[in-house]
Amino acid sequence: LRSSAEAAECMKKLRQILRYTGSCDGDMEKGSLRCDANVSVRLKGSNTFGTRCEIKNLNSIRYIVQAIDYEIQRQIEILESGEEISQDTLLFDVASGKTKVMRSKEDASD
């Protein structure tokens, strides 16, 4: 997937399938279904994949889009300033519209 819109469409389709099969009611707000999004960007023209950050426990399609869009922009700003992105597990704060570090994965072997 290459955008927040594609991620949202994928999640909508998955939720539709789960509801149709009776596997799950797909109620994200009640916690029946959650989404973790892995986001990485790379410099234009680069063939090297970027450092992945994982946003945990997104509980609505709207927040999936907002969190991914914010994280893409955050990572672009880091790379454009010449800094490196650290591999982190993030939470999305809906009040601020920003991701926050939950824990660093730099030393983790997941």
The whole model's pTM is what? Answer: 0.90
> What SS3 class is residue 90?
strand
Residue 110 is assigned to a structural domain of this protein: no
Q: How many domains does the chain have?
A: 1
Residue 109 lies in a domain: no
Confidence band of 105 (pLDDT split at 50, 70, 90): confident
Helices (H), 1-110: 4-21, 61-80
Range of the domain at 50: 4-104
Residue 34 belongs to a domain: yes
37 within domain boundaries: yes
Q: How many CA atoms lie within 13 A of 13 on its CB side?
A: 6
- Alpha-carbon distances of 84 from 42, 68, 69, rounded to whole Å: 11, 19, 19
d(CA 4, CA 42): 16
Structural domain contains residue 93:
yes
Res. 108 pLDDT band, cuts 50 70 90: low
Mean pLDDT for 87-97 is 97
User: Does residue 27 lie in a domain region?
Assistant: yes
Residue 86, in any domain of the structure? yes
